[in-house]
Amino acid sequence: MFRICARTGGLRALHGAAASRGFGTKAAAPSRLRNVVWATSVAVLGGLGYVYVTDTRAGVHKYVATPLIRLMDPEDAHNLSIWCLKHGLGPVDRTDDADVLNIELWGKQMSNPVGLAAGFDKNGEAIDGLFNLGFGAVEVGSITPHEQAGNPRPRLFRVDESRAVINRMGLNNDGAQVCGDRIKSRFWRMLAAQSRRQGETVASLAAGVNRSARADRLLGVNVSKSKASAPESYSDYVDGLNELGAYADYVVINVSCPNVKNIRAGADVAVLESTIAAVVRARNQMPDYRPPIVLKIGPDNDHDQRRLIAQLAIDYRVDGIIATNTTLSRPHGMDDPNEVALQTGGLSGEPLRKMALETTRDMYRLTKGRIPIIGCGGISTAEDALQFAKAGASMVQIYSSMTYDGPGKVCEIKDGLVDLLKGRKWSDIVGEDARS
């Protein structure tokens, strides 16, 4: 009897346990489904969020990130931007450039005519991060033969009310050898990666690729003089060309930096002529690859000085002119309640636009359109860029406007240009004002 009761009790216990397990299985199924749905939703939303915040056109960069960064000291904010771009933490332009923006410069194709001016990436540390923002050209430097610390801090200032920047950096950079090694290393690393993807040898790729290592983008290298050099000397420019020129789609001779006292070539015609002659001669003696030589001039020259510069550029077959560098002047009407503009240094940003546009127009007419002009100074909208093109700019460069509007500025200008061109090509409107 005991055995029977025990057996019966055991069966009931087993039945109860089985029922309990069955009940638990039924309850767990919805729970697992909810977990799957929740995890999937988080993954999808996270992915969409990532795509959004890493897109240059995302408003978060202009309306959130950039205002927050501007709370920092200007130079610290700049260094943080370089660090982020260097380490792949910057946004990316994922949209192909419209055909109307395609141009050819010095026999090389560019997907768009909006470039980055020198001064942002002084040491060539963040080249690919900058190209990823959507620039058609990135210009690094200015680079001097030897490392320079530049002027004491503070040396970079924002004039917020006028959307302007004042700098007296003093050409701080790592020097030609360090920067050159960095630029060369990047070039060969990019070609090695392309070789693995395409199955071609690095040598065959090197023979036909832009020095940017990108099919439709250009890399410019801006070279200048060391502080210790004699005012009339041009050897620093030649040394810079020899060290860096083989890895540049174009080399810029910076003869107009207002923050270095020994750069006289921008103001002394005799020094300018000897400098141009020496650099062009050195370029023509380079084996194999010979980069275009571009002259960067200031905005404070009068018409007669511009006429002389234009004639020298024609006589020595300079390949391009950048108009312009920063100015030591303070244009009338600047909104500056905090008197930041009283700081010594070169002024860039919107107050410079009128001077730069006038210089661009003048240089295009004086060179009769025979030398490509690169417009630079105060460009912050598509309308500004179009105005420079009509004045004669084959390409434009921006910098200071990114301080106020963030890394999406280049795409904002490109998108605006597509609308303004209304089906016409950028190359068709270059110099339109001079022809009318």
pLDDT of 208 > 90? The answer is no
Q: Quick: pLDDT tens for 339-383.
A: 999 999 999 999 999 999 999 999 999 999 999 999 999 999 999
- pLDDT above 90 as % of the chain: 76
More confident residue, 209 or 243: 243
Task: Convert the pLDDT of each residue in 300-314 to its tens digit.
Answer: 999 999 999 999 999
Average model confidence (pLDDT) for the chain? 90
Taking 60 as the threshold, does the pLDDT of residue 289 lie above it? yes
Closest CA to 375 of 354, 396, 402, 351: 396
- Give the residue from 234, 214, 84, 195 showing the smallest Cα distance to 137: 214
Task: Please tell me the distance from the alpha carbon of residue 99 to that of residue 420, in angstroms, as a whole number.
Answer: 14
More confident residue, 328 or 36: 328
Q: What angle do CA 344, 350, 352 make, to 5 degrees?
A: 60
Closest among 112, 117, 73 to 95, alpha carbons compared: 112
Residue 18 has what pLDDT? 43
Task: Over range 67-76, report the average pLDDT.
Answer: 96
In the structure, what pLDDT confidence band is assigned to residue 23 with cuts at 50, 70 and 90?
Answer: very low
pLDDT, tens digit, 9 for 90 and up, residues 124-147: 999 999 999 999 999 999 999 999
The residue ranking higher by pLDDT, 7 or 373, is 373
Does pLDDT of 234 surpass 70? yes
Q: Which of 80, 257, 234, 239 is nearest to 171 (CA)?
A: 257
Q: Residue 178 pLDDT more than 50?
A: yes
